C-alpha cells in the first residue's frame, strides 16, 4: 500500500499529490476525443475494461509503489460536456489493509465516496482528430473531491483507435497538491497508521483511457499504461456478503483511527457528524457475523482519573447503543471505558489531547 510520511510540513502538504492527480488525469480522456467526433457519434462512454489509471508514490526515499483506482465511469456529450466519476472505495494497492487505510483515513470514503471531474470543451479544438489520428493538447478541467472544487489542467495525447474508439493517455505524469483539497490532516493519519517516515512528497499519475461511441460494440482493446497489471472494475466491500476474519480486523483497526466519532465537550451525547462513520461501522459488523465487537472509550488526562473513566464508559456505551439502534445485534456489541489509560500521544498539546479522546473498535470470536 501507499504509506505516507512527510519530511516537513511543507513537503507533507504535497504528500498525496498523486491521489488527486490520478483522478484529475482521467477527465482529460473524456474531454479530448469526444468533441472531435461529435458528428459521427454524438455521445461517448468510457470503457472501464480497457482503461487504466495508475499512480506512483515513493516512501523511505527509494521505495516506489504503483497503485490504481479501479472503478471509473464517464460520459461525454455532443456539446462537449464531460463528466467522469471515480469510486474511491475501489482504490487498489494490492494489499487489503493498505486499501482500507487509503479509503477510511485519507479519502474518508464514509463521507466522500466519489471524486468527480467535469469540463467543457470546444469541439472545434479537435476537429482534425479524424484526419491526424493523433493530437496532443493541454486541457483544463475541474476536480471535485473531499468537498472541494479545484480548477486544473494537464497534457494529454489523443489517439483514434478506430472510428468508434479513442484512447486518451497522459503525455506526462499529472501532479495535484493535497493541501488544495483539505487533506493534509489525513496524510498525518496515514503516517501514524503505517508507522513510516521520509516519504518523497510527490507522486506521478499515468493513465490510458479508451472511450467508445454510444451504440457501438466495444472492441478488444489493450491500451494500458506501462507497468499496469490489472485493469477494469473490481468488487468493493459493498458487493461482499461477508468479510474474512482478517478483513474484519483490518477494518476495525483502521476505523478506530479515523477520529470521526464526535461528542459535545464533557458529554456522552453523540454529535450528528458521527453518523457517516457509525454507518460504516454498522456495515462492517454486519459482514463479520462470527465476531463480537468491543466499543472502547478513551479520554485525555484533563480532569480526575475517576471522572475520565466514567465519561469514557458513557461515551462507549452511547456508541454501542447507537449501533444497536441501527440494527446491530446486541450480542455482537459490548462497551468499555478506559479513561485516560493507554494514551496514543503525550497529553501536552491540544492536538495530542484530541488524539487521546477517541473511540476504538476491537473484535474477538463470538461465543455461542
**CATH number of the domain that residue 62 is part of:** 2.40.128.110
CA dist 68 and 54 (Å) reads 4
- The per-residue pLDDT for 9 is 45
CA dist 343 and 352 (Å) reads 9
Q: What is each CA distance from 363 to 98, 234, 342, in whole angstroms?
A: 19, 27, 18
CA dist 183 and 108 (Å) reads 10
Q: Is residue 4 part of a domain?
A: no
Q: Is residue 201 part of a domain?
A: yes
Residues 6+ apart with CB under 8 A from 101: 1, 3, 190, 193, 194, 254
Residues spanned by the domain of 96: 9-236
What are the DSSP calls for 296-322, one per residue?
EEE--SSS-HHHHHHHHHHHHHHHHHH
Q: Is residue 342 part of a domain?
A: yes
- 246 and 191 in one domain? no
Of 213, 236, 259, the residue that ends a domain is 236
- The per-residue pLDDT for 202 is 66
Structural domains of the chain, count: 2
Beta bridge partners of 56: 66, 204
Q: Is residue 3 part of a domain?
A: no
Q: In CATH, what number is assigned to the domain containing residue 292?
A: 3.30.1330.60
- 160 and 31 in one domain? yes
- 147 and 26 in one domain? yes
Of 236, 271, 301, the residue that ends a domain is 236
- 255 and 200 in one domain? no
Q: Is residue 275 part of a domain?
A: yes
Q: Is residue 1 part of a domain?
A: no
- 128 and 110 in one domain? yes
Q: Is residue 277 part of a domain?
A: yes
- 231 and 127 in one domain? yes
- 109 and 44 in one domain? yes
Beta bridge partners of 160: 166
Measured on CA atoms in the order 261, 194, 237, 288, is the torsion positive or negative? negative
Q: Backbone phi, then psi, for 295, in 5-degree steps?
A: -95, 120
CA dist 33 and 119 (Å) reads 13
- 210 and 157 in one domain? yes
pLDDT tens digits in sequence order for the chain, 368 residues long: 343 333 444 444 444 444 434 343 443 444 444 444 444 445 889 999 988 888 877 667 787 878 899 999 998 887 778 898 999 999 999 999 999 999 999 999 999 999 998 888 777 777 888 899 999 988 888 989 999 999 988 898 888 898 888 888 889 888 878 888 998 888 888 888 988 876 555 667 788 888 888 877 655 554 444 444 577 899 999 999 999 999 999 999 999 999 999 998 889 999 999 999 999 999 999 999 999 999 999 999 999 999 999 999 999 999 999 999 999 999 999 999 999 999 999 999 999 999 999 999 999 988 76
Q: Order across the sheet with 333-337: list the strands.
A: 333-337, 291-298, 358-365
Q: If you search the block for the grid coordinates 485516560, which residue do you land on?
A: 340
- 261 and 232 in one domain? no
What are the DSSP calls for 163-184, one per residue?
TTEEEEEESS-----GGGGT-H
- The per-residue pLDDT for 220 is 55
- 156 and 62 in one domain? yes
Q: Is residue 2 part of a domain?
A: no
Of 202, 236, 270, the residue that ends a domain is 236
| Cβ pair 335, 295 in contact under 8 A | yes
**Cell numbers for 40:** 459521427
54: Cα within 13 Å, side-chain hemisphere: 19
- 82 and 165 in one domain? yes
- 36 and 49 in one domain? yes
Amino acid at each position: 500500500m501507499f504509506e505516507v510520511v512527510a519530511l516537513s510540513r511543507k513537503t507533507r502538504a504535497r504528500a498525496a499529490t498523486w491521489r488527486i492527480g490520478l483522478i484529475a488525469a482521467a477527465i482529460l480522456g473524456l474531454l479530448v476525443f469526444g468533441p472531435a467526433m461529435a458528428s459521427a457519434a454524438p455521445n461517448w462512454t468510457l470503457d472501464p475494461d480497457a482503461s487504466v489509471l495508475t499512480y506512483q508514490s515513493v516512501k523511505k526515499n527509494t521505495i516506489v509503489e504503483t497503485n490504481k483506482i479501479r472503478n471509473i465511469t464517464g460520459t461525454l456529450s455532443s456539446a462537449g460536456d464531460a463528466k467522469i466519476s471515480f469510486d474511491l472505495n475501489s482504490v487498489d494497492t494490492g494489499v487489503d489493509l493498505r486499501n482500507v487505510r487509503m479509503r477510511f483515513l485519507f479519502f474518508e470514503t464514509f463521507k466522500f465516496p466519489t471524486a468527480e471531474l467535469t469540463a467543457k470543451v470546444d469541439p472545434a479544438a479537435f476537429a482534425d482528430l479524424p484526419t491526424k489520428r493523433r493530437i496532443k493538447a493541454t486541457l483544463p478541467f475541474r476536480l471535485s473531491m473531499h468537498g472541494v472544487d479545484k480548477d486544473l489542467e494537464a497534457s494529454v495525447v489523443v489517439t483514434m483507435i478506430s472510428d468508434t474508439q479513442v484512447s486518451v493517455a497522459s503525455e506526462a505524469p499529472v501532479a495535484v497538491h493535497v493541501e488544495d483539497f483539505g487533506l493534509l490532516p489525513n496524510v498525518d493519519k496515514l503516517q501514524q497508521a503505517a508507522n513510516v517516515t521520509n516519504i518523497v512528497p510527490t507522486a506521478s499519475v499515468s493513465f490510458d483511457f479508451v472511450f467508445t461511441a454510444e451504440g457501438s460494440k466495444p472492441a478488444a482493446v489493450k491500451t494500458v499504461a506501462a507497468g499496469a497489471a490489472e485493469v477494469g472494475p473490481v468488487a468493493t466491500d459493498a458487493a461482499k456478503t461477508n468479510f474474512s476474519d482478517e478483513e474484519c480486523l483490518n477494518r476495525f483497526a483502521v476505523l478506530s483511527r479515523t477520529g470521526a466519532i464526535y461528542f459535545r465537550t464533557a458529554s456522552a451525547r453523540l454529535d450528528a457528524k458521527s453518523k457517516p462513520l457509525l454507518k460504516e461501522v454498522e456495515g462492517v459488523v454486519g459482514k463479520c457475523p462470527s465476531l463480537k465487537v468491543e466499543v472502547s472509550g478513551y479520554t485525555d488526562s484533563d480532569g480526575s482519573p475517576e471522572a475520565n473513566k466514567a465519561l469514557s464508559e458513557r461515551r462507549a456505551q452511547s456508541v454501542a447503543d447507537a449501533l444497536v439502534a441501527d440494527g446491530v445485534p446486541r450480542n455482537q456489541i459490548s462497551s468499555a471505558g478506559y479513561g485516560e489509560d493507554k494514551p496514543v500521544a503525550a497529553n501536552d498539546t491540544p492536538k495530542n489531547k484530541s488524539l487521546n479522546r477517541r473511540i476504538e473498535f476491537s473484535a474477538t470470536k463470538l461465543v455461542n
